[in-house]
């Protein structure tokens, strides 16, 4: 997309200067607006043409049966599919009885701009109808980051070359027709008419529709109200029916006159509250929005984002596209999480229906590290959501014959939705990923109250899972057999290094937290004997290593498998999962996404510098990056072992995953974890940030194509700003108590008002690793 001639590289916005229908679906994802509770895809105001209509409420889903050719014990009975809820974006326009449709007449000019600072989507268009009348349309759309249940649109119409009778139809529409589903497993299922009308009403310029889902029994209310401003007194008619609400405004305009329609939309939903309560919730939110007014909502949005950017902005000099992409990613990441309170952060956020709207381990491993250091309250909210699903995770573990909590591989409500157990149930590492996120959050914030109320229980129940899932062998080593690690091209493996190292971290953290909170530990039935078993398992954890090759095996026996025939695999056969059976993938050395390399990032202290370099080179030659999660991790370790230009290549790949539509599925929604990966590649990669027992260490180095990197992070209630140039790094504490940091192995103390600069030594790049044939990253900077 970003290489499309209609798109411009700018530091603080994403601008489209012409409308091209061949990339319409992709643009709908890029221009999506959300607050973590409401999600509106960037569809055109008039609704047509469209790639994929999309209006979402976080946590609203319908149940879908999971058919099995052969049933098995413990298989989930039904899946959960995020549904397209009542669309409040629609504003149709007729000019002298001819509908404004960009496919007809002449579209003389068209521009859209997603403003990262203001949190709005601007659109302007100049259109001549088939009869020759030209009008100018301007709209500004937002989903409020302050008023959680509210979205709003300001829509202006102005004739250009003569008088025009205009009719504006503002609508609420339920059960929109959706495109036919694809065979791609990453694409959502399509449910026909999932909403059943319960009531509808209309009066003045307000309409309310209430629906219920048939199987999940969720109530959803949508309401809209309007403020109309124009010459004389425009005529207003309001109507409603079960799946449609419409407010029609009619006016005759002269050139220079403008009809303005401000549309406020509010949503409410619940699985437990009554129909009147849900309806009235939407009505109350609508009244509050009208009282605030359009200008007030705009001002609230800007103030909210000013605060966010003050805490989270990343500055990149030397690569303008990465600079734009870094802010684009942070903006969408924040949109996905800001008001998700009590709900998951889906893999696509609320920008599309890909993966059926499910949340995965992506959230804890890629999204929460960014939120922890830029918007810690949002990170805490997501972990509270995981904690709220703990009863289901405990039940699932019991069903599987295990102790502790078995969290789902993919879910909306907290129940397992994966019908393919080798990649779903067997991917137990999600438990350790949640534990890792808890430890990071508490370490970065010092939030002891959160640890006592939420963290300890999550750590304890996940530790119990590992203790029951693994066992000590005849040599006293603790083994975790028959699990699936991050690499989904290897399944049901023994002693996956990533899983074992993360479980080790989980077990130690649980024992430490139980000791810090003895009363809470007693409430959970944790005694000294159980803590001792956790520590013993951690100390004797099995970590497969090939002495012959001098590298860690991704899992036991992995390095003895036949290497995939990359030379015989064509570019059209990627991603491999769409062209080859899993049976073949599972028994070959081919890596979908960074697995052992991710272990070297998150459990950095478990590997020597020499091991990191050898491991990285070995797995580079096997990793095909059929997952958007891989490139950011490869960027981190490439930078650590000295491949700075390669790190820049992988950074750009993560940054441009959606802006460049690199996986050809941006139409289904953005890759939220890859957007988070841009920050990870910059901060953990080029700046070399690592977490070390409650403090941070940095080992910054820049590739030649980037001349400066600067960012701020929240730490221990204060704010630290780091600025990296080719020859030195400067650490400045903007607020908070003095911090103990490490710069390239040197302990330093940074105090408020006393920036500290330290030199960065030059290093020689080691021999370049090789990638599978045809899977080399695109070079970002040519020396």
CA atoms of 586 and 728, how far apart (whole Å): 46
* Residue 675 · residue 658 · CB < 8 Å: yes
φ/ψ (deg, to 5) at 78: -145, 155
Q: Read off the tokens for 195.
A: 């909403």
- CA neighbor of 135 nearest in space, from 169, 101, 112: 101
Q: What is the dihedral of CA 511, 513, 515, 517, to 10 degrees?
A: -150
Task: Clarify whether 640 is annotated catalytic.
Answer: no
Q: Read off the tokens for 542.
A: 């099995």
Largest CA distance in the chain: 90
CA atoms of 281 and 287, how far apart (whole Å): 10
Q: Read off the tokens for 367.
A: 């999204």
- CA neighbor of 117 nearest in space, from 39, 41, 11, 6: 11
The two beta strands, 756-759 and 728-735, are antiparallel
* Residue 663 · residue 604 · CB < 8 Å: no
Burial track 120-154 (b if 16+ CB lie within 10 A, e otherwise): bbbbebbbbbeeebbbbbbbbbbbbbbbbbbbbbb
CA atoms of 566 and 541, how far apart (whole Å): 33
DSSP state letters, 414-444: SS---S-TTTTTT-THHHHHHHHHHHHHHHH
CB atoms within 10 A of CB 491: 23
* Residue 647 · residue 638 · CB < 8 Å: yes
Q: Whose structure tokens read 């009282």? A: 291
- CA neighbor of 732 nearest in space, from 713, 707, 709, 716: 713
* Residue 578 · residue 184 · CB < 8 Å: yes
DSSP state letters, 498-514: HHHHHHHHHHHHHHHHH
CA atoms of 745 and 697, how far apart (whole Å): 8
The alpha carbons of the chain give a radius of gyration, in whole angstroms, of: 27
* Residue 692 · residue 767 · CB < 8 Å: no
Q: Residue 586: which residues within 8 A CB-CB, separation 6 or more?
A: 422, 489, 490, 491, 492
- Which residue among 382, 451, 488, 653 is the active-site one? 488
Give burial (CB, 10 Å; 0-12/13-18/19+) of 721. middle
- CA neighbor of 681 nearest in space, from 719, 661, 709: 709
Enumerate the β-bridge partners of residue 545: 552
* Residue 368 · residue 381 · CB < 8 Å: no
Q: Read off the tokens for 257.
A: 């006159």
Residue 275 vs residues 59, 218, 383, 734: alpha-carbon distances, Å? 18, 10, 30, 49
Q: Read off the tokens for 342.
A: 């009590």
* Residue 321 · residue 653 · CB < 8 Å: no
Known catalytic residues?
A: 488
């Amino acid at each position: 997309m970003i290489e499309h001639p209609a798109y411009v590289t700018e530091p603080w916005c994403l601008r489209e200067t012409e409308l091209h229908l061949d990339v319409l679906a992709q643009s709908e994802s890029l221009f999506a607006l959300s607050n973590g509770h409401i999600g509106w895809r960037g569809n055109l105001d008039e609704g047509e043409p469209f790639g994929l209509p999309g209006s979402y409420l976080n946590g609203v889903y319908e149940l879908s049966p999971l058919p099995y050719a052969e049933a098995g014990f413990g298989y989930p009975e039904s899946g959960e599919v995020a549904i397209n809820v009542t669309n409040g974006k629609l504003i149709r326009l007729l000019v002298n009885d001819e509908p404004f449709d960009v496919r007809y007449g002449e579209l003389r000019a068209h521009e859209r701009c997603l403003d990262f600072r203001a949190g709005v989507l601007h659109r302007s268009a100049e259109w001549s109808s088939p009869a020759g009348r030209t009008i100018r349309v301007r709209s500004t759309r937002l989903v409020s980051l302050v008023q959680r249940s509210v979205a709003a649109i300001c829509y202006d119409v102005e004739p250009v070359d003569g008088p025009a009778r205009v009719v504006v139809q503002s609508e609420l529409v339920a059960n929109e027709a959706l495109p036919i589903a694809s065979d791609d497993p990453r694409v959502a299922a399509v449910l026909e008419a999932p909403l059943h009308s319960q009531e509808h009403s209309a009066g003045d310029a307000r309409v309310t529709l209430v629906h219920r889902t048939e199987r999940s029994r969720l109530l959803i209310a949508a309401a809209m109200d309007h403020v109309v401003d124009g010459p004389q007194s425009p005529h207003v008619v309001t109507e409603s029916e079960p799946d449609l609400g419409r407010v029609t405004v009619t006016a005759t305009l002269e050139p220079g006159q403008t009809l303005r329609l401000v549309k406020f939309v509010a949503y409410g939903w619940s699985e437990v509250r009554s129909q009147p309560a849900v309806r009235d919730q939407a009505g109350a939110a609508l009244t509050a929005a009208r009282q605030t007014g359009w200008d007030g909502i705009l001002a609230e949005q800007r103030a909210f984002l000013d605060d966010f950017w003050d805490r989270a902005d990343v500055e990149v000099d030397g690569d303008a596209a990465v600079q734009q992409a870094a802010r684009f990613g942070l903006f969408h990441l924040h949109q996905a999480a800001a008001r998700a309170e009590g709900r998951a952060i889906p893999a696509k956020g609320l920008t599309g229906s890909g993966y059926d709207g499910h949340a995965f381990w992506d959230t804890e491993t890629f999204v929460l590290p960014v939120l922890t250091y830029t918007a810690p309250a949002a990170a805490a909210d997501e972990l509270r959501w995981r904690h709220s699903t703990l009863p289901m995770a405990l039940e699932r573990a019991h069903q599987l014959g295990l102790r502790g909590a078995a969290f789902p591989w993919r879910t909306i409500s907290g129940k397992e939705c994966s019908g393919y157990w080798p990649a779903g149930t067997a991917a137990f590492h999600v438990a350790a990923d949640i534990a890792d996120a808890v430890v990071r959050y508490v370490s970065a914030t010092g939030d002891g109250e959160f640890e006592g109320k939420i963290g300890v229980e999550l750590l304890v129940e996940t530790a119990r899972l590992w203790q029951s899932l693994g066992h000590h062998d005849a040599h006293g080593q603790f083994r975790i057999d028959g699990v699936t690690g991050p690499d989904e091209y290897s399944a049901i493996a023994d002693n996956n290094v990533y899983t074992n190292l993360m479980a080790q971290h989980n077990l130690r953290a649980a024992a430490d937290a139980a000791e810090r909170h003895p009363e809470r530990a007693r409430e959970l039935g944790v005694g000294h004997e159980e803590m001792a078993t956790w520590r013993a398992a951690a100390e004797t954890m099995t970590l497969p290593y090939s002495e012959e090759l001098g590298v860690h095996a991704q899992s036991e026996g992995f390095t003895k498998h036949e290497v995939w025939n990359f030379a015989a695999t064509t570019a059209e056969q990627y991603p491999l999962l769409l062209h080859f059976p899993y049976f073949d993938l599972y028994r070959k050395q081919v890596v979908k996404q960074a697995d052992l390399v991710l272990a070297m990032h998150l459990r950095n202290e478990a590997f020597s510098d020499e091991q990191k370099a050898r491991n990285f080179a070995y797995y580079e030659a096997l990793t095909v990056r059929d997952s958007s999660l891989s490139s950011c991790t490869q960027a981190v370790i490439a930078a650590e072992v000295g491949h700075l230009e390669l790190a820049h290549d992988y950074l750009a790949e993560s940054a441009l995953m959606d802006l460049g539509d690199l996986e050809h599925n941006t139409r289904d929604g953005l890759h939220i974890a890859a957007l988070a990966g841009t920050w990870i590649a910059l901060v953990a990669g080029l700046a070399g940030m690592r977490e070390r027992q409650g403090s941070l260490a940095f080992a910054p180095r820049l590739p030649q194509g980037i001349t400066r990197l600067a960012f701020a992070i929240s730490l221990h209630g204060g704010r630290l700003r780091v600025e990296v140039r080719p020859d030195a790094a400067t650490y400045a504490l903007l607020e908070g108590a003095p911090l103990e940091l490490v710069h390239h192995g040197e302990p330093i103390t940074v105090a408020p008002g006393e920036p500290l600069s330290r030199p960065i030594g030059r290093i020689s790049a080691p021999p370049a690793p090789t990638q599978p044939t045809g899977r080399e990253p695109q070079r970002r900077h040519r020396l």
